Structure 1
Amino acid sequence: MKKLSVCLLMLAFMAGCANNQATESEYDHESRDGVSFINNDLDRTEDNDTLDRTFSGDQNPNFINFDGKRLDNQDDINQARKVVAAHEGLRPGAVWINGEDMWVTAYRKGDMTHQEKLEAQAQLHKDLIRALPTYHIEVKIQEDRT
């Protein structure tokens, strides 16, 4: 009985490891004699969602820039500072960008009441959203004590 069960077990292992030539060609039909099949047909449907077709070069800062212009946040920071400087009595301070978030600090000479501070922050926030709609902007106005 032991010999029969060992023999059946060995037969099962050998059947599982068998190399079936009929089904092997079904799975590697894109390789002919070790050379991969190359197709330049751009209208094929299986590769329509590749990275080349769905992303532009500006979406990932790690892509190489070929147009010679720097891809950084400095243009957006300068635009935010221009918006702050356009407000009467405000001086631009620190502008921080982290992903989709932008923090803008502005300084105003003199003392402000809490209500004046809230109104100035709301107006500046509204103008910054108009100028830079791609960011979630947080505005902080502080009294300039220098």
Structure 2
Amino acid sequence: MKILLMLLVFVVVMVSGCGQDNTESVYDKDQDQAGMDLNREGDGVREGDGPNFSRDQDDGMTMTDQNPNLLNTDNENHHSFSQDVQKAKDVISDAGYEPGSIWINGGEMNVTAQLEGHVTRNDREKAQKTLQQKLAKALPRYDINVDIQ
């Protein structure tokens, strides 16, 4: 008897939950909180304020322009290590040397350059010093280590 009574209460609770009618809702089913019709024909763009509204789309704004947490990848002024490596290669070439391997490790740039022909130790040290000064002037953000081969 207890099992039958518990089963009956369970069925009543289950059936009563399915029969709710949300007529107390302030909004109609076809409207959002602002009272705008969501099911209208057209392109789906509404008038108003925000990223998906026609006024902002006419101004050329996109979601990436408005969200400060997104990276700005289309900026031409953004820093790239490949630009620094290319700048170092240009400085080495302009100084009259053949650029070798260049790598960046944190705030340190390691540069290798080759001299043509047989060079004395004194000439190699002099070339290393002048090249290091030129690179430090061109790329002041790095501590530059130059190796002449």
- 2:93 paired residue among 71, 85, 96: 85
1:137 and 2:144 matched: yes
C-alpha separation in 2, matches of 1:65 and 1:77: 22
Equivalent residue pairs, number: 79
Q: Which has the higher contact order (CA 8 A, sep 6+)?
A: 1
C-alpha separation in 1, matches of 2:105 and 2:117: 31
Mapping for residues 36-47 of structure 1, pairs under 5 Å: none
Mapping for residues 68-83 of structure 1, pairs under 5 Å: 68-69=75-76, 71-83=79-91
**For residues 122-142 of structure 1, what are the alpha-carbon distances to aligned partners after superposition, in whole Å with 9 as ceiling and x for unaligned?**
000000000000000000010
Displacement after TM superposition at 1:87 (Å): 1.2
C-alpha separation in 1, matches of 2:107 and 2:118: 32
Mapping for residues 116-127 of structure 1, pairs under 5 Å: 116-127=123-134
**Same amino acid, percent of matched pairs:** 37
C-alpha separation in 1, matches of 2:126 and 2:102: 20
TM-score (norm 2): 0.50
Root-mean-square deviation (CA), in Å? Answer: 1.6
C-alpha separation in 1, matches of 2:86 and 2:74: 21
Displacement after TM superposition at 1:67 (Å): 2.9
C-alpha separation in 2, matches of 1:95 and 1:65: 27
Structure 1 unaligned regions, length at least 5? 1-62
**For residues 41-82 of structure 1, what are the alpha-carbon distances to aligned partners after superposition, in whole Å with 9 as ceiling and x for unaligned?**
xxxxxxxxxxxxxxxxxxxxxx72343456430000000000
Letter in 1 for 2:81: N
Structure 2 unaligned regions, length at least 5? 1-69
Letter in 2 for 1:73: F
Letter in 2 for 1:126: Q
1:128 and 2:142 matched: no
Letter in 2 for 1:76: D
Assess if the C-alpha contact under 8 Å between 1:65 and 1:71 holds in 2.
Answer: no
> Which has the larger Rg?
2
- State the secondary structure of the residue aligned to 1:109: coil
- State the secondary structure of the residue aligned to 2:115: strand
Cross-structure match for 1:114: 121
Q: Give the strand-richer structure, 1 or 2.
A: 1
